[in-house]
Amino acid sequence: MAEDKSKRDSIGMNMKGCQTNNGFVHNEDILEQTPDTGSSADNLQHSTTSILGSQEPDFKGVQPYAGMPKEVLFQFSGQARYRIPREILFWLAVASVLVLIAATVAIIVLSPKCLDWWQEGPMYQIYPRSFKDSNKDGNGDLKGIQDKLDYITALNVKTVWITSFYKSSLKDFRYGVEDFRQVDSIFGTMEDFENLVAAIHDKGLKLIIDFIPNHTSDKHTWFQLSRTRTGKYTDYYIWHDCTHENGTTVPPNNWLSVYGNSSWHFDEVRNQCYFHQFMKEQPDLNFRNPDVHEEIKEILRFWLTKGVDGFSFDAVKFLLEAKHLRDEIQVNKTQIPDTVTQYSELYHDFTTTQVGMHDIVRSFRQTMDQYSTEPGRYRFMGTEAYAETIDRTVMYYGLPFIQEADFPFNNYLTMLDTVSGNSVYEVITSWMENMPEGKWPNWMIGGPDSSRLTSRLGNEYVNVMNMLLFTLPGTPITYYGEEIGMGNIVAINLNESYDTNTLLSKSPMQWDNSSNAGFSEASHTWLPTNSDYHTVNVDVQKTQPRSALKLYQDLSLLHANELLLNRGWFCHLRNDSHYVVYTRELDGIDRIFIVVLNFGESTLLNLQNMISGLPATVRIRLSTNSANKGSEVDTSGIFLDKGEGLILEHNTKNLLHRQTAFRDRCFVSNRACYSSVLNILYTSC
């Protein structure tokens, strides 16, 4: 009986403690120092001891309290009312984690690849000697480009592309590079270049530069050592024995340079002929020599380390020549061989696109991939194939599992000396049909080695060609000045040692109507400015709501903000000698853009005959005539002036690329579908 009473007293004391200690736990040391064995502390200690004994205590009516020993709490935790909620919460947490993991995996699997920086927006190509002069010497320079980055940003450009600025002995500073690791003094210093790279990146832009791997200047150190047969440089270039008597050279074969006449030149120091596919001051490197190959890759690493985001590899089809020296076949077999002096008079089967050339390009890609491991620092690679046919140009994309260029530059629109709906359609479809599946297209309407758009086609085509550029799938590429409609300068004679016709499209950028078009404060510029710079310049067009510059900015902004344009399908509707009509559409978006471009004379167009279910009127999203922007147009009879273009917006769920009739007339690069509910893109359409 006494033992039962003691147990009840102990439990009662515990309950009392639960009501009175309010979370305060007595220190065990203090309890041990308490001399009064009859005190409540002693009773509590005794109670605890008896609870921990071999007998199971009765916890009915007892609640856990702050300070209860963990051994006691373990007894309560096993009770169903505590155990079951705990287990439910645990398994709910496990299930939630598994659901989140599954959802993440599903989103990753179903999401299309994000567009990279070289796909997101237009590239802006700059010929640095003609863009902006910062030091009043009449030549554009790197600091001048940096001074104009705000203007480039206002164009919604994503990538700045600067053509060759390497140290060179040639006056146009494009091909004859004397030192690949130096900035030519006319453009500034290496510090200027580093500052420019930092400024471009600070603006959120990327930078690509030209690279010419096929040849060097004859002033290059490598060539000087090669002509004296010094060490490993002996075979850095392509040398061969030839006959040279009384100032006359008999070359090893009939191979011709791009600029005409024999591609072999006798060197009196080495007493041999060296091979040059371009000018005699530009000897070809010997890429069959692994040391040369490694030298070029080291140069790439040098500039990549400087922060360059990519390269345009120039004239890559010339990298290798046949080992044998057989004559190339004449185009006109009846022509007397001694009269064959022009490049176009031979088939160049032994001097271009040789077996192994693509392996070299792939090795460049591999070198650049080594610098693409950082997030957001992918290094772009483009190639220039120099007058190849489209089916051969697209080979530079590489194979399905072996990548070469991100894209070979598509300059076929720049080759149109006359324009029509049919010719434009032919360029578009030829590229899209030949481009490997999943690759990314690009388009350009001007460049440093082609005549400017207005001089080739006429002023009336500036706006419609820019509209074409921004409504085709892929990356638009703009040569400086095309956004304001600059034209060629008149023929000049600068006593240059290269084709002066290529200078006509390199005239100074027209910034304003001040002296030298705002390009330079010098008394003389390296090329004259165009006589129309008083009216065709950036400052004037910034204030004109209907200017070419304003339309260009509107087009680039629309391209940046509309999934239909930067991710959507391209579906060709119709073309003739006057116009081209196509749509841009995307699964999940219940509207389409209908692009109508007129390259011929004034014409009347009935869109209802082309698209079934088209309403009587549709809205004009953009027009080459800004007065029409936002208005309605009658789809049964759209009148288009010469050089007029429209981007029409039409709400519909009946997308053309789903229809059997349009299956062979629709193209897409990176297929994606849009979910308006989740506001995401996915691939399982």
Residue 326 DSSP class? P
Q: What is the pLDDT of residue 496?
A: 58
What is the rounded CA–CA span in Å between residue 498 and residue 384?
Answer: 20
What is the rounded CA–CA span in Å between residue 596 and residue 503?
Answer: 34
- The answer, yes or no, to whether residue 24 has pLDDT greater than 90, is no
Residue 185 DSSP class? T
What integer best gives the mean pLDDT of the chain? 89
- The answer, yes or no, to whether residue 390 has pLDDT greater than 70, is yes
CA-nearest of 181, 161, 357 to 277 is: 357
Q: What percent of the chain has pLDDT over 70?
A: 89
Burial group, residue 446, by CB count within 10 angstroms (0-12, 13-18, 19+): buried
- The answer, yes or no, to whether residue 35 has pLDDT greater than 50, is no
Q: What is the mean pLDDT of residues 239-264?
A: 93
What is the rounded CA–CA span in Å between residue 630 and residue 639?
Answer: 16
Please indicate whether residue 635 or residue 42 has the higher confidence score (pLDDT): 635
What is the rounded CA–CA span in Å between residue 241 and residue 290?
Answer: 22
Backbone angles phi, psi at 285, to 5 degrees: -75, 155
Residues 6+ away with beta carbon under 8 Å from 217: 168, 169, 170, 176, 177, 178, 223, 281, 282
Q: What is the pLDDT of residue 45?
A: 45
Q: What is the pLDDT of residue 112?
A: 75
Q: What angle do CA 355, 411, 432 make, to 5 degrees?
A: 80
What is the rounded CA–CA span in Å between residue 505 and residue 456?
Answer: 11
Burial group, residue 219, by CB count within 10 angstroms (0-12, 13-18, 19+): middle
Q: What angle do CA 374, 112, 431 make, to 5 degrees?
A: 95
CA-nearest of 248, 323, 263, 259 to 287 is: 323
Residues 6+ away with beta carbon under 8 Å from 487: 452, 454, 455, 459, 530, 532, 536
Q: What is the mean pLDDT of residues 295-300?
A: 98
Residues 6+ away with beta carbon under 8 Å from 82: 76
Q: What is the pLDDT of residue 498?
A: 62
Residue 183 DSSP class? E
